[in-house]
Homo-oligomer: A and B are copies of this chain.
């Protein structure tokens, strides 16, 4: 899922995203609540209509942003009170309020409001967060007014404590939700530890429901997670790299500002079907990036999104052909 934080996948039109093969995009509840506010989005006919995107959308719960971005004021069993970075007023986010906002936004998949502990964190703190997250999940289920239109996914927390992860997964599964996510990863822990967490969690989530690894990932992170059963990812990497003048090309990261591209008149990736690769050269991209032209970050973002979606398409085909572990062995 390309990330469309503020009801736009940065620098790209919905038409370009469709052409890139995006089946679903993510919107951030925390950001949309602050600007423009869910009331405006609802009045306009929901998030799909507001942003002109007619394929599925997933919204997160706002929990991750409240814990990672905000000046936190108070966290209780009831919920979280924080200061709005926009206008300084105090905002309370609870499981009920998160679901109410997500019901108003109207995404196809919505996420339970969870407590995401930082890394590193003491076992006792993580244990408490897992317990609270489960209680909050049940309140989310109760508060959800559109269960037939919007699939509510639960989130497995548990930090780096693999037994807590397993226990959290098993509790969640007892609620028979339409999908499950692995959260609290990619928060600063070593990547090897992240893989261990995913490996110790995914097998306890049902294979016939979507398993979503939040905030991941790169080529290798995706391959390793898919190998243990993950189906769904979201990551800002393709658009963020694009805005920094970098491209994902066949498994590598290239800085297009580099002088080696100055007189390179070949397409960025001759095998890529995106608009940029079909129409422009590396030399032109180098020129645009050096000139800080918006078209440069747009073309690179489009390419990077196209590239990562194509990568998952190739993985899907390999799985269907029973050739995944051989074809992608160099990533495993």
* Closest Cβ–Cβ distance, residue A79 to chain B (whole Å): 26
0/1 string, A264-289, CB within 8 A of B gives 1: 01000000000100011101101110
Q: Which residues of B contact A258 (CB under 8 A)?
A: none
* Closest Cβ–Cβ distance, residue A107 to chain B (whole Å): 16
| Of B8, B43, B275, B283, the contact of A40 (CB 8 Å cutoff) | B283
The reply to whether B36 and A287 form a contact with Cβ atoms under 8 Å apart is yes
The reply to whether B50 and A8 form a contact with Cβ atoms under 8 Å apart is no
A11-19, A55-63, A176-184, A188-196: which one contacts chain B?
A: A11-19
| Of B13, B50, B283, the contact of A44 (CB 8 Å cutoff) | B283
* Closest Cβ–Cβ distance, residue A15 to chain B (whole Å): 7
- Interface magnitude class on chain A: 35 or more
Q: Which residues of B contact A7 (CB under 8 A)?
A: 284, 287
The reply to whether B262 and A40 form a contact with Cβ atoms under 8 Å apart is yes
The reply to whether B263 and A15 form a contact with Cβ atoms under 8 Å apart is no
Assembly CA distance A173 to B280 (angstroms)? 40
* Closest Cβ–Cβ distance, residue A276 to chain B (whole Å): 9
The reply to whether A14 and B279 form a contact with Cβ atoms under 8 Å apart is yes
Is A291 positioned at the interface, with any CB of B under 8 Å from its CB? yes
Assembly CA distance A284 to B286 (angstroms)? 32
Assembly CA distance A287 to B32 (angstroms)? 10
Q: Which residues of B contact A12 (CB under 8 A)?
A: 295
* Closest Cβ–Cβ distance, residue A62 to chain B (whole Å): 17
* Closest Cβ–Cβ distance, residue A256 to chain B (whole Å): 13
Is A122 positioned at the interface, with any CB of B under 8 Å from its CB? no
The reply to whether B13 and A295 form a contact with Cβ atoms under 8 Å apart is yes
0/1 string, A5-35, CB within 8 A of B gives 1: 0111011111100000000000000000001
Find the B residue at minimum CB distance from A281. Answer: B44
The reply to whether B265 and A43 form a contact with Cβ atoms under 8 Å apart is yes
* 30 A/B residue pairs, CB under 8 Å, sorted by A: A6-B287, A7-B284, A7-B287, A8-B288, A10-B293, A11-B294, A11-B295, A11-B298, A12-B295, A13-B275, A13-B295, A13-B298, A13-B299, A14-B279, A36-B262, A36-B286, A40-B287, A43-B265, A43-B283, A44-B283, A45-B265, A50-B284, A50-B287, A51-B280, A51-B284, A52-B279, A52-B284, A294-B294, A294-B297, A298-B298
A35-B290, A43-B263 known, 18 other contacts, Cβ within 8 Å: A6-B287, A6-B291, A7-B284, A7-B287, A8-B288, A8-B293, A10-B295, A13-B298, A14-B279, A15-B275, A36-B286, A40-B262, A40-B283, A40-B287, A43-B265, A44-B265, A44-B283, A44-B284
